[in-house]
């Protein structure tokens, strides 16, 4: 069911304004309501959860989420997301680091920003990002809109500035028309709030709840084979304790946890959420990432230190604090234990993690974007970027 | 919790300033306030039934008659005998099945991911069915289904938990013997409306009975011993813990808020009529675990939990203290969470029998006693850290430290709160058209749109083909065959049950955009 047409669109030399129409339809899994908004619909909504928090077991409702954007806002967000006009030098788009062919991450240990700069941390996947209360590895943003401006205006990511971004967009007749269409109540020039809202609208539609695990959870017992169910039972056992933080149905509980994952050799210690909350006890703490589509988003951890799921599982299995630098006193999470999983259990866990893959609703990369730049990634960038030194292993 | 009283002296000084205005009786013995339990008001409880069933729920709760929260047993019964597999029986069982397990020894992990399954051991002349993990298996019983009942088992030698629930509602865990099953003995988590009663649990490296992130819970008539913690109510609301025998643990009864969990509060917990005695077991909690910080010799520990009512317990011979009330700031092994309120608000200490507690307390306890001019070898109740709105009845009966500013309570009994359990919650009825729509949007719309080509053919074309034949679509999608050379073959949707397939077919036939 992969969308074959999503990759490597052939750029056409000249795009004309008439090429761009915003969709009047909601994306898959969204219903167009009477007031013209797209609302999320999924079978998990037939269930309940304790205190409405969306954490639990197999048949538990999802957490509160963002939706209710119009088809026009969503489709405008899609154009913006894939348009390199958003970056300071017009070489990279949001999709440069959240690539449809890389699990909406980028396959790199740490993302490469404008002019080959080290962006510092790994690009998190955007799958199911509408369900998160806090964004970024260090949990420093509380909305998709607030998150979006982070990379846009970071000198080591997209390297733009609000003035320059708005000048580019307002200087483009197609964008002026599309923003008017998406925001009919607004008059005047395009502003940063509109850009943030459109990007949030698009990102809120990146949903993944049709994995084989989901089929099992909804009651189809043979959706997983014996080995995968064995892995599920290790995953949720109180020996491995994975599901205590990577809690279904989202496979994250949204909290910050200090797990003591190492930095790659030669990199300084990353204090993570200590800075966000000004809390020394959260030193080295990071937001628990979703495991949805985790098999598609190697390498792992905030700094991409582990190349495979197997290496990642082994890190936990090596025991509490096994990689904490000698000069760091970390307040490790209480569920970071020394589970002593057997070789077989480690293998089954990796089997299970691969059942969380579902990219049925991968968004369509536009064949052309309003700037006329090559969508997704300007080839200039590919030439400028250093080769990724990290060699990825392969699970199984 | 070895650092539990690190800030003793500054605190004591602060308390001295607070005490005078709230409790005027300390100046002379003649001012002692003696309260007769029968004379005071009743606790109004912390649970308010809401919604269309509110009256029914209220009446049932007031009557105290609710015991079977999982609803009536279904008619189907299967029997599992020694040498057979309980798990296999669960896999084969339809919801509503009772699985009777005969005496014997079973080495397996039994997971239950469907609703309304009862696993009922048959005890013959004292012989129980034994689940033995041989210290190789992780968990014995692992359920995520609703309306789950497990009774009469003996569970030994697992590494994780004896009975573990993940989000199952309406559960009954009853009459089980659980010995040395690793981290927890009985651990319902993220569920609403459950009973844990008449279990005997021992030799557990964390809590023998641990209720985590759950609502409307009744824990009664259990014996818990030789564990690091006896019974722990954590990040949970509306829980009654009564008539339990809690002895020879490092800590007896705990009401906690653990920071860093997605559900942030513990509120409205009643600890009443329990025996909390001899909890002086060496603390063998795992390094880094929250309970490893509990000083051996703690009867009850209330940390950051709100509206905990303590009534009618016999609390004796706990060497550090009978009751410790504290906050996150004074506790060891506790992280921070900006969203967790760190104090134990509104602790209500009603009449309790307290004997021989605190005779060998930790140095910080002694210092706190000294600061209040109490030098004896006893400590029944100690409070460190803010505990606003708290109260105590007949305080003159106990050796206390740090409760001078507690008010008199405005009620003296919880007798009219029989239970926080709810009547069996009927399964939510989902209209078939709703089920069809959601499956259509959540699954079909990834490949089909009304009037255009996506991965599969347009819905309009399908409608023309099947017109008045939804069953035809329902059958086709279960086992599709390739019909159109210019389209990819459709993957089977046989994971949808037949009712859902028909519902989605019906919905598809009336889509108009």
pLDDT digits (tens, 9 = 90+) for B420-459: 999 887 777 788 889 999 999 999 998 999 988 888 999 9
Helix (H) or strand (E) holding B55: helix B54-63
Residue A348 corresponds to which tokens in the numbers above?
């089954």
Chain A CB contacts of B437 under 8 Å are 31, 41
Inter-chain residue contact A332 with B109, CB threshold 8 Å = no
| pLDDT band, very low/low/confident/very high, at B373 (cuts 50, 70, 90) | confident
Provide the pLDDT confidence category of residue B19 given band limits of 50, 70 and 90. very low
B491 and A1 in contact by Cβ < 8 A? yes
Using the beta-carbon criterion (under 8 Å), do A221 and B109 form an inter-chain contact?
A: no
Which residues have C-beta within 8 Å of that of residue A377, sequence separation ≥ 6?
A84, A91, A92, A93, A95, A96
Rg (CA), chain B: 28
How confident is the model over B82-94, as pLDDT tens digits?
Answer: 999 999 999 999 9
For residues B163 and B185, the answer to whether their CB atoms sit within 8 Å is yes
Cβ of A46 and B192 within 8 Å?
no
Quick check: A118 and A112 in contact, CB under 8 A? yes
Looking at the DSSP bridge assignments, the partners of residue B392 are B349
Peptide bond into A249 cis (omega under 30): yes
Distances (CA, A) of B6 to A7, A11, B297, B331: 61, 68, 18, 9
End-to-end CA distance of chain B: 63
Least confident of A11-25, B74-88, B242-256: A11-25
Residue closest to B326 by CA, chosen among B272, B283, B390 = B390
Give the three-class secondary structure for B306.
strand
Find tokens 């200490």 and name the residue.
B349
CB contact under 8 A, B260 and A30: no
pLDDT at position B482 over 50:
yes
Nearest chain B Cα distance for residue A120, angstroms: 25
Identify all chain B residues contacting A229, using CB atoms and an 8 Å cutoff. 111
Answer for the pair B343, B331: CB distance below 8 angstroms, yes or no: no
Q: Please state the separation of Cα A302 from the chain's center in Å.
A: 12
Query: Does residue B2 sit at the A interface (CB-CB below 8 Å)?
Result: no
The predicted pLDDT at position A381 comes to 66
Which has the minimum average pLDDT: A6-15, A246-255, B260-269, B382-391?
A6-15
Do B166 and A236 count as a contact with CB atoms less than 8 A apart? yes
Q: Look at B114 and A334 and tell me if their CB atoms are within 8 Å.
A: no
Contact yes or no for B454/B444 (Cβ under 8 A): no
Nearest-by-CA chain A residue for B189: A56
Looking at the DSSP bridge assignments, the partners of residue A286 are A257
Which of the four pLDDT bands, split at 50, 70 and 90, describes residue B23? very low
- Residues of B within 8 A of A60 (CB-CB) are 167, 190
Q: How close does chain B come to A166, measured CA to CA in Å?
A: 34
* C-alpha span between A42 and B231 (Å, rounded): 38
pLDDT of B34 reads 85
Structure-token pair, residue B510: 């009336």
Length of chain B in residues, anyone? 513
- pLDDT of A387 reads 47
Mean pLDDT over A350-354 rounds to 98
Give the pLDDT confidence score for residue B14 in this predicted structure. Answer: 39
Q: CB B263 to CB A257 under 8 A?
A: no
The alpha-carbon gap from A43 to the nearest alpha carbon of chain B, in Å, equals 6
Q: Is B15's pLDDT higher than 70?
A: no
pTM for this model (two decimals): 0.91
Query: DSSP code of B452?
Result: B
Q: Which alpha helices (DSSP H) does B301-342 contain, by range? A: none
Instruction: Please work out, in degrees rounded to the nearest 5, the angle formed at the alpha carbon of residue B76 by the alpha carbons of B75 and B77.
Output: 115
Average pLDDT over residues B301-311: 97
Q: Which residues, numbered 148 to 167 in chain B, qualify as contacts with chain A under a Cβ-Cβ cut-off of 8 Å?
A: 159-161, 164-167
| Burial class, B154, CB count within 10 angstroms (exposed 0-12 / middle 13-18 / buried 19+) | buried
Q: Please list, in sequence order, all residues whose beta carbon lies within 8 angstroms of the beta carbon of residue A91, skipping any fewer than 6 positions away.
A: A84, A114, A377, A378, A380, A381, A384
- pLDDT tens per residue, range A327-347: 999 999 999 998 999 999 999
| Chain A residue at shortest CA distance from B93 | A221
CB contact under 8 A, A30 and B441: yes
Say which DSSP state A27 is in: P
Lowest mean pLDDT among A99-113, B156-170, B199-213, B411-425: B411-425
pLDDT score of B452: 86
Best-predicted range by mean pLDDT (A360-369, B239-248, B374-383):
B239-248
For residue A171, the distance in angstroms to the closest alpha carbon of chain B comes to 34
Is the pLDDT higher at B74 or at B425? B74
Phi, psi of A163 (to 5 degrees): -60, -45
Dig out the tokens for A25 from the structure: 């339809």
Secondary structure (H, E, C), A136-193: CCCCCECCHHHHHHHHHCCCCCCCCCHHHHHHHHHCCHHHHHHHHHHCCCCCCCCCHH
Phi and psi at residue B246, to the nearest 5°: -115, 100
Q: What does the pLDDT read at residue B2?
A: 44
Q: Which of A252, A212, A245, A240 is nearest to A352 (CA)?
A: A212
Contact B109 A233 (CB under 8 A): yes
Mean pLDDT across B276-304: 94
Mutation to test the B interface, candidates A57, A134, A316, most B Cβ within 10 Å = A57
In the predicted model, what is the mean pLDDT of chain B? Answer: 90
Taking residues B307-336, what's their average pLDDT?
93
Whether the CB of B395 is below 8 Å from some CB of chain A: the reply is: no
Give the list of residues 6+ apart from residue A309 with CB closer than 8 angstroms, or none: A294, A295, A298, A300, A350, A353, A354, A395
Average pLDDT on B264-290 reads 95
Q: Which of B62-66, B290-294, B350-354, B366-370 has the highest mean pLDDT?
A: B350-354
- Per-residue confidence at B483, pLDDT binned at 50, 70, 90? confident
Which pLDDT belongs to residue A385?
52
A219 pLDDT higher than 90? yes
Selected residue of B442, B456, B487, B503 to mutate for chain A interface (largest A Cβ count, 10 A): B442
Residue B16: is its pLDDT beyond 80? no
Q: What is the helix, strand, coil percentage profile of chain A, to 5?
A: 35, 5, 60
Q: Do B495 and A223 touch (CB under 8 A)?
A: yes
Task: Give percent of chain A with pLDDT exceeding 70.
Answer: 91
- Is residue B64 left, alpha or beta, with left meaning phi > 0 and alpha meaning psi from -120 to 50? left
Give A95-118 pLDDT, tens digit per residue.
999 999 999 999 999 999 999 999
Judged against a pLDDT cut of 50, whether residue A2 lies above it is answered with no
List chain B residues with CB under 8 Å of A55. 167, 190, 213, 262-263
How far does A334 lie from chain B, in Å, by closest CA?
A: 5
Q: Which pLDDT score is estimated for A46?
A: 93
B399 pLDDT higher than 90: yes
Contacts of B225 (CB under 8 A, 6+ apart): B201, B202, B208, B245, B246, B247, B248, B249
Q: Do A31 and B187 touch (CB under 8 A)?
A: no
Q: What is the pLDDT of residue B63?
A: 78
Cβ contact B441–A257 (<8 Å) = no
Nearest CA in chain A to B429: A46
Strands A285-287 and B154-156: unpaired
CB neighbour class for A216 (10 Å; exposed up to 12, middle 13-18, buried from 19): buried
Give the span between the Cα atoms of B68 and B193, in whole angstroms. Answer: 10
The CA distances from residue B26 to A368, B16, B225, B395, B405, in Å, are: 82, 11, 38, 10, 10
State the first-to-last Cα distance of chain A, in angstroms, to the nearest integer: 22
- Indicate the residue of A30, A229, A239 with minimum beta-carbon distance to B159: A239
Give the strand pairing for A285-287 and A256-258. antiparallel
CA–CA dist A70, A330 (Å, integer)? 45
Report pLDDT digits (tens) over B40-68.
788 988 888 888 788 888 888 877 777 78
Q: Which of A13-27, A43-57, A304-318 has the lowest mean pLDDT?
A: A13-27
Name the burial class of residue B485, with classes exposed (0-12), middle (13-18) and buried (19+) by CB atoms within 10 angstroms of its CB.
exposed
> Using CA atoms, how far apart are residues B147 and B202, in angstroms rounded to an integer?
26
Q: Are residues B139 and A57, on separate chains, in Cβ contact within 8 Å?
A: no
Spatial contact of A29 and B445, defined as CB atoms under 8 Å apart? yes
Residue B289 near chain A (CB below 8 Å):
yes
Cis peptide before A282 (omega within 30 of 0): no
CA geometry: angle at B163 spanning B158 and B167, to 5°?
135
H or E segment to which residue A309 belongs: helix A309-317
Interface test with B, best of A238, A252, A260 (most B CBs within 10 A): A238
Instruction: Provide the pLDDT for residue B336.
Output: 82
How far does the CA of residue A208 sit from the closest CA of chain B (Å)? 10
User: A388 to chain B nearest CA, in Å?
Assistant: 34
What is the rounded average pLDDT of the residues B205-225? 97
Residue of A nearest to B498 (CA): A220
Record: contact B138-A331, CB cut-off 8 A: no
pLDDT band per the 50, 70, 90 thresholds, residue A12: very low
Q: What are phi and psi of A162, to 5 degrees?
A: -55, -45
Between chains, do B445 and A210 touch, taking CB under 8 Å as contact?
no
Residue B37 has what pLDDT?
72
User: What is the length of chain A?
Assistant: 396
Which among A239, A257, A360 has CB closest to B260? A257
Average pLDDT over residues A142-169: 96
Q: What's the CA dihedral at B192, B197, B203, B204 to 10 degrees?
A: 10
Residue ranges of B 13-72 with Cβ closer than 8 A to chain A: none
The pLDDT-based confidence of A203 (bands split at 50, 70, 90) is very high
Cα–Cα distance for residue pair B456/B444, rounded to 1 Å: 9
Rounded Cα gap, residues A319 and A321, in angstroms: 6
Give pLDDT, residue A25: 93
For all residues of chain A together, what is the average pLDDT? Answer: 91
Contact map slice: B 431-460 vs A, CB within 8 A: 435, 437-439, 441-443, 445-447, 449, 455
Q: Checking DSSP bridges between strand B161-166 and strand B177-179, what pairing results, if any? A: unpaired
**pLDDT value at position B423?**
87
Q: How would residue A214 be classed by pLDDT, with cut points 50, 70 and 90?
A: very high
Residue A245: in which H helix or E strand, if any?
Answer: helix A242-245
Residues of B in contact with A255 (CB under 8 A): 260-262, 337
User: CB within 8 A of B422, min separation 6: which ones?
Assistant: B49, B57, B60, B61, B66, B69, B192, B193, B216
Residues A238, B138: C-beta atoms closer than 8 Å: yes
pLDDT of residue A15 exceeding 80: no
pLDDT digits (tens, 9 = 90+) for B139-150: 999 999 999 999
């Amino acid at each position: 069911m992969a969308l074959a047409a999503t990759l490597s669109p052939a750029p056409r030399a000249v795009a004309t304004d008439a090429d761009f129409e915003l969709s009047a339809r909601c994306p898959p899994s969204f219903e167009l309501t009477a007031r013209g908004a797209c609302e999320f619909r999924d079978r998990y909504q037939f269930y309940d959860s304790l205190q409405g928090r969306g954490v639990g077991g197999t048949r538990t409702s999802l957490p509160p989420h963002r939706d209710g954007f119009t088809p026009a806002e969503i489709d405008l967000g899609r154009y913006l997301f894939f348009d390199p006009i958003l970056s300071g030098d017009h070489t990279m788009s949001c999709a440069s680091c959240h690539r449809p062919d890389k699990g909406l991450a980028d396959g790199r240990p740490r993302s490469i920003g404008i002019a080959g700069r080290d962006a510092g941390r790994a690009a998190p996947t955007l799958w199911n990002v509408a369900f998160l209360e806090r964004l970024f590895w260090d949990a420093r943003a509380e909305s998709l809109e607030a998150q979006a401006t982070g990379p846009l205006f970071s000198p080591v990511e997209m390297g733009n500035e609000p003035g320059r971004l708005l000048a580019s967009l307002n200087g483009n007749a197609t964008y002026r028309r599309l923003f008017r269409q998406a925001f009919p109540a607004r008059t005047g020039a395009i502003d940063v709030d509109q850009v943030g809202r459109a990007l949030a609208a698009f990102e809120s539609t990146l949903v993944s709840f049709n994995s084989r695990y989901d089929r099992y959870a909804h009651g189809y017992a043979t959706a997983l084979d014996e080995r995968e169910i064995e892995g599920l039972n290790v995953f949720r056992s109180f020996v491995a304790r994975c599901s205590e933080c990577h809690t279904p149905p989202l496979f994250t509980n949204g909290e910050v946890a200090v797990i003591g994952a190492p930095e790659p050799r030669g990199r300084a210690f990353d204090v993570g959420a200590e800075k966000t909350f000004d809390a020394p006890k959260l030193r080295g703490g990071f937001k628990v990432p979703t495991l949805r589509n985790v098999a598609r988003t190697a390498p792992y951890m905030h700094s991409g230190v582990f190349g495979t799921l197997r290496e990642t599982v082994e890190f936990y299995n090596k025991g509490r604090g096994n990689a904490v630098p000698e000069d760091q006193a970390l307040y490790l999470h209480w569920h970071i234990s020394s589970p002593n999983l057997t070789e077989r259990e480690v293998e089954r866990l990796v089997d299970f993690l691969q059942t969380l893959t579902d990219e049925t609703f991968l968004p369509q990369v536009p064949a052309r974007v309003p700037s006329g730049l090559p969508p997704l990634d300007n080839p200039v960038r590919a030439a400028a970027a250093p080769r990724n030194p990290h060699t990825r292993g392969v699970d199984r | 919790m070895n650092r539990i009283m690190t800030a003793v002296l500054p605190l004591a000084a602060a308390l001295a300033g607070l005490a005078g205005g709230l409790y005027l009786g300390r100046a002379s013995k003649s001012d002692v306030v003696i309260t007769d339990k029968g004379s005071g008001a009743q606790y109004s409880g912390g649970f308010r039934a809401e919604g269309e069933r509110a009256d029914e729920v209220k009446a049932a709760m007031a009557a105290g008659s609710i015991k079977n929260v999982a609803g009536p047993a279904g008619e189907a019964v299967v029997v599992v005998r020694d040498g057979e597999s309980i798990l296999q029986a669960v896999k084969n069982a339809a919801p509503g099945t009772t699985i009777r397990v005969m005496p014997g020894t079973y080495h397996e992990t039994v997971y239950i991911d469907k609703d309304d399954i009862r696993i009922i051991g048959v005890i013959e002349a004292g012989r129980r069915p034994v689940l033995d993990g041989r210290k190789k298996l992780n968990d014995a019983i692992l359920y995520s289904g609703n309306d789950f009942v497990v009774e009469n088992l003996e569970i030994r030698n697992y590494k994780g938990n004896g009975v573990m629930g993940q989000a199952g509602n309406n559960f009954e865990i009853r009459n089980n013997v659980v010995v040395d099953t690793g981290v927890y003995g009985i651990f319902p988590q993220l569920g609403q409306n459950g009973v844990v009663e008449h279990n005997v649990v021992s030799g557990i490296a964390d809590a023998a009975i641990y209720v985590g992130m759950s609502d409307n819970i009744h824990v009664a008539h259990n014996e818990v011993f030789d564990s690091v913690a006896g019974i722990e109510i954590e990040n949970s609301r509306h829980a009654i813990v009564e008539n339990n025998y809690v002895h020879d643990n490092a800590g007896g009864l705990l009401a906690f808020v653990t920071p860093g969990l997605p559900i942030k509060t513990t509120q409205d917990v009643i600890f009443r009529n329990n025996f909390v005695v001899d909890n002086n077991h060496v603390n063998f909690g795992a390094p880094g675990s929250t309970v490893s910080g509990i000083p051996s010799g703690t009867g009850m520990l209330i940390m950051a939990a709100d509206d905990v009512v303590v009534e009618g317990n016999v609390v004796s011979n706990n060497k550090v203290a009978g009751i410790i009330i504290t906050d996150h700031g004074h506790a060891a092994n506790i992280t921070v969470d900006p969203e967790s309120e760190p104090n134990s608000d509104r602790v209500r200490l009603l009449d309790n029998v307290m004997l021989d507690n605190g005779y060998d307390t930790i140095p910080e306890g002694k210092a706190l006693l000294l600061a209040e001019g109490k030098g004896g070898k006893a400590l029944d109740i100690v409070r460190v850290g803010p505990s606003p709105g708290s109260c105590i009845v007949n305080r003159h009966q106990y050796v206390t430290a740090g409760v001078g500013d507690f008010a008199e309570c405005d009620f003296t009994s919880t007798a009219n709160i029989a239970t926080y359990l709810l009547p069996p919650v009927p399964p939510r009825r989902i209209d078939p058209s709703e089920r069809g729509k959601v499956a259509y949007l959540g699954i079909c719309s990834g490949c089909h749109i009304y009037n255009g080509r996506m991965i599969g053919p347009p819905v309009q074309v399908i409608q023309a083909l099947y017109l008045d034949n939804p069953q035809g679509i329902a059958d086709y999608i279960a086992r599709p065959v390739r019909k159109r050379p210019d389209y990819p073959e459709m993957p089977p949707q046989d994971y949808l049950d037949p009712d859902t397939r028909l519902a989605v077919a019906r919905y598809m036939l009336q889509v108009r955009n």
